[in-house]
Structure 1
């Protein structure tokens, strides 16, 4: 069996991969508006190349595509990353409806749905995110922008005619007026003979709210009431916009999907801020009021789904491992992954027979084949990292990719002619323990890792590698 370093290579540089673990939707939108590529995620072809379409992800995207062909506005929050990452999902959807990658995506999507859908997006971690929507609408009126080659001319005409009505106050619209503007575009498009469809993607709603609420509480306690009110109103404007948009589109022949990201940890942070400020009734009521209002709005958007969520899909450690391998590694030219997997299993079977371990081999055979070149030890570690019960602060797929990429870096660069798999051997003790992800148990895990490292340093050199592998 050939060493892993001779048959695999990085799909992208490990430094680039590390930077890409936290993508920015706003950067993608900014690049789209300026027709420049300052982030690799702004390139639709690159996005298609690095996205491993798991069954849950495909089901999620196809459900959105399906809803864009049915009159009625639905939507809701993305709270959990189900095998691909919330921001990554929004960026993928953005490119799917603003470029021609839909033809090669493997997603079942009608060209008319792409051409007739008005796609808008914003990132609530930035100041005045609603302005971004105005800038995007103006791009639909720019005959030099690539989007005009993608969209139905009647949709473009509808945007031009409605924006003309608002040109004097375009950048000073209230949340209700912006919702009305979008509704009028849909109405105008219908009058012109089109089939109005809307896809609105909102990233970092929860994180943006958490930061604004934290700043709001600080200003209140500092006695800066007017500044505090201005900050709170920023957050409230977004909530109002979602509410007004639903009201303006309700009952009209518009197929719409509205998605916003409200991560579980962001909700917990906001709720924690409310608890911290229970002694101040004004602060507490405003925080709880904002969250409750958002929950009511989410329920409203879910009516068209029978009260269910648009993305009620579960975490899958198996999908996470497949995503990690797909993002990190590729076989060298001319070598098939399937062929390598078969060779690996045949090689292991021979060894298992020699060591009288056939029963154990049969038990783990399919798993080892499926996730090759990850070793069984690394597979088990990565599965642990997908469990919030075992690793309280896990970021799920992002954590799995981070740890697997670190092991792959060492295997391919420092040990290219060594083992035939990438394993825990290629991680140090702290990299295996991941103490920082253990929250209140971080100190205990860090101490334990330190004790193990100290004990290993005292073992005879010829026995140290075996002892370290056993410890991991």
Structure 2
């Protein structure tokens, strides 16, 4: 069993629309047996009637009065315009069938004569206009009719014939010995008809006099007079100046007031019969439903309460669903308010009629409902709309607008319909004034759709419903959702038929010129390119992009390239779609052609010329402009509403202020919508790629500005590289891809920068990021920088920080090191009284100090220079001498003679003679007063150190000369090989492109080969580091292992290390081998060792 309302059983007659107008027949129809059977059969009628507390009290009060022999006169008013006739029918059946009434719990006396007067029918309410002929007697008055029904016409005959109200004594005579209940319904209609009757006795006044006398008679005799009064009596009835406050139905005001004045001089007010919303609910349930499924009712109430508990911030937390099920509590309240507020509705009978229509619509269309919702009183139904708007035709346009704007949006219609039906009859303007507190608030409106089954079916919570409500009201920024005529202010909602300023300015929008629309739209596009939406509306300054500059004109002519050609990265926005109404392939081809023209060509007068800086332009565009018409419509409305002056349309200041606020909110909402639509409009980005090609990709929608979105797209495409993805390794790899080795050549920084602006295969890189990468290369000692005459390579104390600019020159590490060593080799000497102070640089490495001036004599001097620490040394030398050998090391073949220069210099004020001696060789000079020079001739015999000693004043100084005898070498490294070369070993010194190098070596050198060494593969982004050590493996085996590892690490992986190919059995070089090996030698990729003896 489901929780849907269809589990309850509806009475069959509800589905017969022909019976809608018979839901409350006239009293006369029942008396004359002309009404439907349910109203004529007292048992069926009483069984189908819900007895409200007011009805029961009325029966008891009449019974008590009759039993006391005193009688009573009651004016029967309504609380909200309903139930009077039905109550009269109840009294009629109860007092004419007392035994049946007692079975139903109504204490009704026997032997009461019931006389019914139905004011709309001359057969129960004769008059001089419509005489009633009965038993040969012409009855012309109400008093004549009552007398005839009591069988005592003769007592009143004269007064009936003369159309004069009988005096009190005649009425007392008439009612003597009787128990009488006189039911008078629709009498105001009767009085209104006879009011204009021209008689000598003023029949209208005679009738009023009759009612006054009749009321006075009922105080002394067992006569109960019940008169229905077509007026609403507020819940808090009060008197001002002795007068009763009541609200007559329209059209009968004077007659009603006159009648009430007469009968209430001695009579009593009775507010009946439906006093509360619960009464109304029970009446509807009784009249509409044959059976209520109590199990379903229990479950629905539990589910409803769960929503109330969970979303108490969004809904009314006090509900009477127990009393109103299967009606939503607000359905009953809405009907009650309609009956009170729309005075043209005919009370409970129209509440029942409306509900019958609602039930038929629901049972026919089968919406998902566990409750009958207030908005099921729908303005989409023509019958309901006719009833509600019969005297409110100004609201037809409002109803039509709500239906049209909510088409396909069911929950939007339910919310707007509820606000409409709740407030239209108040006929409010833009400013409701003090009535605002009586209007529905957001909790009430959200609660109006609180139906567990319905909300589950549409996947919404009350919080979601509140968001939807906010989106459709006048203060909404979502202009696509705003419903005209629906106003909200101070948390309250209502409708007005007055044209709100949005509606007025929208009507004027069609007059805006297309050129003005385009101009305004372009301004909005340029604003959104650099400024987030929220900041635009707060008038904040633009933020711009991280890299791209904005071309400050939206391009609409797609056949004319832009005249920009400079070393800067630019975003050009195309305002015109590439191809409207085209197929996908057409769009792609046309987009590629247009993108290539804009990216690679610039305008030159009326002609075009190739762009020098061909890696600088990015295009943002719409492929097909799917929402172009919608954007332009919003812009048209934005211009119109921004320029609107509300003063001529609204006379009072309060309304003008409200109108201005509504208009300002709407304009801001339009502006926000335009910006959001612009985001949706642009969908593609084109940028230079590969070998003068273009790449077109989808625009990523993460950024808050168009520039940010484009830059985010290019970052994801790796076309833009920022500091987090660009370092010196990246720079090396990118330049190697275009055959530039930045670590092995001399380059001007300006030229490196220009490569990035001119080569489409390179990414866009901010200048600062590029320069920082170059600086990182210096820090890593892979390159050096020359600024003017100053070289920067290895850091040392006293070296100032350097900057890199366009004129800076990049040197390879060896040249940079040589130049820096040359600079650091200069010594500074300061003369002292007792000697000299020498300042010079040394390299500290593994606990040893090597004077910089002597470093290049060391084996592997460059690696030592990189690894060591440069320090400035100050050395104080006392007066005396110092001795140097130039060179301080010699080498040659055995038996070869070499000559070394010896330099003797004085230190301080020394002027004595110095004596020289040597452990090997022949000195040219053996003594002298410094400064002086000598030469030493040495014949090479074996490796040794020759010590030269300078003696003076019982002191001595020494210097050493390293002697190395060279052996006969049968192998050497060569710069070029030939077909006759015998290769013994190949050193791979550049491991960047191993996947191609190893196969070339393997195919070029014929014979048995093995691979040794160590290789490291690093990928910083993936945080991967792999070390591979081939230990005599075959080249093919190593390639098989290496390939998947390189693929896994990715394109940006750094490969470093040393590999040697040992040729164990050399069998020659292949035909292509010589060429391949010489290319690798020339590119400094390998070193080759060959046999020479």
TM-score, with normalisation over the residues of structure 1?
A: 0.67
**Conserved? CA contact 1:121–1:202, under 8 Å:** yes
Alignment-derived partner of residue 1087 in structure 2: none
**Conserved? CA contact 2:73–2:224, under 8 Å:** yes
Q: Report the Cα offset of residue 124 of structure 1.
A: 2.1
**Conserved? CA contact 2:55–2:272, under 8 Å:** no
Q: Report the Cα offset of residue 206 of structure 1.
A: 0.8
**Conserved? CA contact 1:18–1:402, under 8 Å:** yes
RMSD, aligned CA: 3.9
Cα deviation per residue 1:121-160 (whole Å; 9 max; x = unaligned)? Answer: 1122233725488678767xxxxxxxxxxxxxxxxxxx66
**Conserved? CA contact 2:215–2:266, under 8 Å:** yes
Q: Report the Cα offset of residue 392 of structure 1.
A: 4.6
Q: Report the Cα offset of residue 70 of structure 1.
A: 2.2
Q: Report the Cα offset of residue 200 of structure 1.
A: 0.9
Matched, 1:297 2:241: no
Higher strand share: 2
**Conserved? CA contact 1:201–1:258, under 8 Å:** yes
Alignment-derived partner of residue 222 in structure 2: 255
Q: Report the Cα offset of residue 182 of structure 1.
A: 6.0
Shift in alpha-carbon separation, 1:200–1:168, aligned structure 2, 3 A: closer
Q: 3-state DSSP class of the match of 2:60? A: helix
Cα deviation per residue 1:406-461 (whole Å; 9 max; x = unaligned)? Answer: 2211222331x842222256453345985764687x2442221111112123xxx4
Q: Report the Cα offset of residue 350 of structure 1.
A: 5.7
Matched, 1:378 2:331: yes
CA distance in 2, matches of 1:257, 1:344: 46
Shift in alpha-carbon separation, 1:269–1:386, aligned structure 2, 3 A: closer
Shift in alpha-carbon separation, 1:340–1:247, aligned structure 2, 3 A: same
After TM superposition, the structure 1 = structure 2 runs for residues 408-447 of structure 1, keeping only pairs within 5 Å, are: 408-415=359-366, 418-424=368-374, 426-431=376-381, 434=385, 437=388, 442-447=392-397
Q: 3-state DSSP class of the match of 2:410? A: helix
Alignment-derived partner of residue 599 in structure 2: none
After TM superposition, the structure 1 = structure 2 runs for residues 58-97 of structure 1, keeping only pairs within 5 Å, are: 58-80=56-78, 85-97=83-95
CA distance in 2, matches of 1:452, 1:231: 57
**Conserved? CA contact 2:218–2:224, under 8 Å:** no
Alignment-derived partner of residue 281 in structure 1: none
CA distance in 1, matches of 2:181, 2:313: 52
After TM superposition, the structure 1 = structure 2 runs for residues 297-376 of structure 1, keeping only pairs within 5 Å, are: 297-302=262-267, 308-311=268-271, 315-331=275-291, 337-349=293-305, 356-357=310-311, 363-364=317-318, 366-375=319-328
Alignment-derived partner of residue 103 in structure 2: 104
Q: Report the Cα offset of residue 368 of structure 1.
A: 2.4
Alignment-derived partner of residue 468 in structure 1: 413
After TM superposition, the structure 1 = structure 2 runs for residues 269-280 of structure 1, keeping only pairs within 5 Å, are: 269-271=251-253
Alignment-derived partner of residue 26 in structure 1: 28
Q: 3-state DSSP class of the match of 2:320? A: helix
| Segment drifting more, 69-78 vs 59-68 | 69-78
CA distance in 2, matches of 1:435, 1:19: 14
Matched, 1:238 2:207: yes
Q: Report the Cα offset of residue 470 of structure 1.
A: 3.2
Shift in alpha-carbon separation, 1:291–1:209, aligned structure 2, 3 A: same
Shift in alpha-carbon separation, 1:248–1:427, aligned structure 2, 3 A: closer
Matched, 1:209 2:211: no
Q: 3-state DSSP class of the match of 1:429? A: coil
Shift in alpha-carbon separation, 1:398–1:11, aligned structure 2, 3 A: same
CA distance in 1, matches of 2:157, 2:200: 26
**Conserved? CA contact 1:70–1:255, under 8 Å:** yes
Q: 3-state DSSP class of the match of 1:125? A: coil
Cα deviation per residue 1:171-218 (whole Å; 9 max; x = unaligned)? Answer: 85856569877644543x3xxxxxx422111111112222333xx2xx
- 5+ residue gaps, structure 1, are 140-158, 190-195, 217-227, 273-286, 303-307
Matched, 1:10 2:5: no
Shift in alpha-carbon separation, 1:119–1:383, aligned structure 2, 3 A: closer
**Conserved? CA contact 1:60–1:311, under 8 Å:** no
CA distance in 2, matches of 1:435, 1:168: 47
Q: Report the Cα offset of residue 91 of structure 1.
A: 1.2
Shift in alpha-carbon separation, 1:316–1:184, aligned structure 2, 3 A: same
**Conserved? CA contact 2:21–2:353, under 8 Å:** no
Higher helix share: 1
CA distance in 1, matches of 2:158, 2:111: 27
TM-score, with normalisation over the residues of structure 2?
A: 0.31
After TM superposition, the structure 1 = structure 2 runs for residues 127-142 of structure 1, keeping only pairs within 5 Å, are: 127=122, 129-130=125-126, 131=139
- Count how many residue pairs are aligned between Structure 1 and Structure 2: 383
Shift in alpha-carbon separation, 1:392–1:122, aligned structure 2, 3 A: closer
Shift in alpha-carbon separation, 1:267–1:73, aligned structure 2, 3 A: farther
Structure possessing the higher radius of gyration over alpha carbons: 2
Shift in alpha-carbon separation, 1:437–1:339, aligned structure 2, 3 A: same
Alignment-derived partner of residue 284 in structure 1: none
**Conserved? CA contact 2:339–2:345, under 8 Å:** yes
Cα deviation per residue 1:29-85 (whole Å; 9 max; x = unaligned)? Answer: 112xxxx76654222123212211111222222222222222324314323266851
Q: Report the Cα offset of residue 258 of structure 1.
A: 0.9
Greater RCO, 1 or 2 (C-alpha within 8 Å, sep 6+): 1
CA distance in 2, matches of 1:266, 1:350: 43
Q: 3-state DSSP class of the match of 1:260? A: strand
Alignment-derived partner of residue 116 in structure 1: 111
**Conserved? CA contact 2:85–2:185, under 8 Å:** yes
Cα deviation per residue 1:386-405 (whole Å; 9 max; x = unaligned)? Answer: 442xx453444334323322
Q: Report the Cα offset of residue 229 of structure 1.
A: 1.0
Alignment-derived partner of residue 153 in structure 1: none
CA distance in 1, matches of 2:336, 2:286: 16
**Conserved? CA contact 1:79–1:263, under 8 Å:** yes
CA distance in 2, matches of 1:347, 1:231: 70
Cα deviation per residue 1:254-284 (whole Å; 9 max; x = unaligned)? Answer: 2221122231376752446xxxxxxxxxxxx
